[in-house]
Structure 1
Amino acid sequence: MDKASLRRSLLKIRQTLSKTEWQEKSDRICTHLQSSPIFKEAKTVLAYFSFRQEPDLKPLFADTSHLWGFPRCVGKSLSWHLWQAGDRLETNKFGILEPVANAPILAASEVDLILVPSVACDVRGYRLGYGAGYYDRLLKLPEWSNKLTIGIVFEFTYLVEIPIDEWDRSLTGVCTETGLKLINNY
């Protein structure tokens, strides 16, 4: 199955999760992250605001032992902005919440861990995204290429293998509601 067909199929299945099941699975993902050394040791964590029933990481954001960064879509790139609970957000052209444009920008050198939104991940650490290439372009930049990255997916989208292209990069690990699986570079 090609990437576009696989993406459509998995997003359709994800949309069938009841709100209760979605929240329970999301909460378990958060619990696994919070108990992992890779997360505990990180000072600055990049995350995302859940969109279209992606796993919801909101319970993590109250943890003030971490600095939190969230993306803004700027052209075909992502800029990362510092955010604290209570800071203003706005909705971008895709319908995704993001920090306001004048929020402080985070440099790659300040970042310890990136929680990567994904449609699916495979056991090799490859990620199926939404097709726009924002994270692919980011993670191939030299200043971002060695960051610890964890794909965040529900277990039913943690697959044996997904199709990959030459620009795809393997993540450090994948976290689902059944646990954190570390794969590369850790």
Structure 2
Amino acid sequence: MTSLSVLRKQLRIQRRQLNRFQQRQAEQRCLQHLRTLPEFQSAQRIGLYLHAFGEVSTKAIIWTCLKQGKKVYLPVICNMNQQLRWVKINAGQYRQQRFSRHHLGMQQPMTNQSWPVSHLDLLIMPLLACDSQGMRLGMGGGFYDRTLAQAAYQPFRLGLAHEFQYLNQQLPVRVWDQALNALITPKALRRFKIN
């Protein structure tokens, strides 16, 4: 079994090597799968992320949500407890890219008003890897795991990834790790049985 740090490094490199066409194709195929998901169809408050490190692009998903009248929320890191809070954005804010760059490299909305993850119906998360049990390997900061572990109510947790990020091997599970309910890749929509 490859160590998690080596695995993270390999997957980051592989993700960055995808060209624009491959990224666009992945985005469109993932969106097609997402549209068939009942939890997406019924969700009104959707937590998403702004892609920044080679993840599957969320641009088409964000525009689809906004056009369907769904409310889109983006994460901000709360410096006090290192958990994520969720900020509602509208089409104008997204079009004008009114975001600030966090010192970890991702963009986040600028606002004072934010909500806990329990406010969301559906949470679409980035990841570096996901195994056959729905365990998610993130970038290493633990923000999503920490946030979900403390949540009063859990939204439906959906991972978004390239096909090579889905692993047939099992990832080591740590006490704080939070599993996904489902994973979408360009190739498939997979559901997981989680406790």
Q: Could you tell me how far apart the structure 2 residues matched to 1:80 and 1:21 are?
A: 29
Query: What RMSD in Å do the two structures reach over aligned CA positions?
Result: 1.6
Shift of 1:108: 3.8
User: Identity, % of aligned pairs?
Assistant: 28
Q: Unmatched 5+ residue regions in structure 2?
A: none
Q: How many equivalent residue pairs?
A: 184
CA shift at 1:101, angstroms? 2.7
Partner of 1:175: 184
Equivalent in 113, 127, 138 of residue 129 of structure 1: 138
Runs (5+) with no aligned partner, structure 1: none
TM-score, structure 2 normalization: 0.88
**1:93 is matched with which residue: 103, 106, 113?**
103
Q: 1:86 is paired with a residue of what secondary structure?
A: helix
Q: Indicate the larger mover: 172-181 or 105-114.
A: 105-114
SS of the residue 2:92 aligns to? coil
TM-aligned CA deviation for residue 109 of structure 1: 4.2
Aligned equivalents of 2:17 and 2:117: distance in 1?
Answer: 36
For residues 109 and 169 of structure 1, what CA distance do their matches in structure 2 show? 15
Question: Once the 2 structures are TM-superposed, how far is the Cα of residue 24 of structure 1 from its aligned partner?
Answer: 0.7
Give a deviation string over 1:19-77, Cα, whole Å, max 9, x none: 11111112211121122111111110000000111000111212332101101112212
More helix by share: 2
Give the whole-Å Cα distance in 2 for the aligned partners of 1:184 and 1:100: 36
- Deviation track 1:93-112 (CA, whole Å, cap 9, x = no partner) reads 1221111033x322444310
Q: Matches of 1:48 and 1:66 in 2, distance apart?
A: 15
Assess if the C-alpha contact under 8 Å between 1:45 and 1:67 holds in 2. yes
* Deviating more after overlay: 64-73 vs 161-170: 161-170
Q: Structure 1 runs of 4+ off > 3 angstroms? A: none
User: Is 1:125–1:183's contact at 8 Å kept on the other side of the alignment?
Assistant: yes
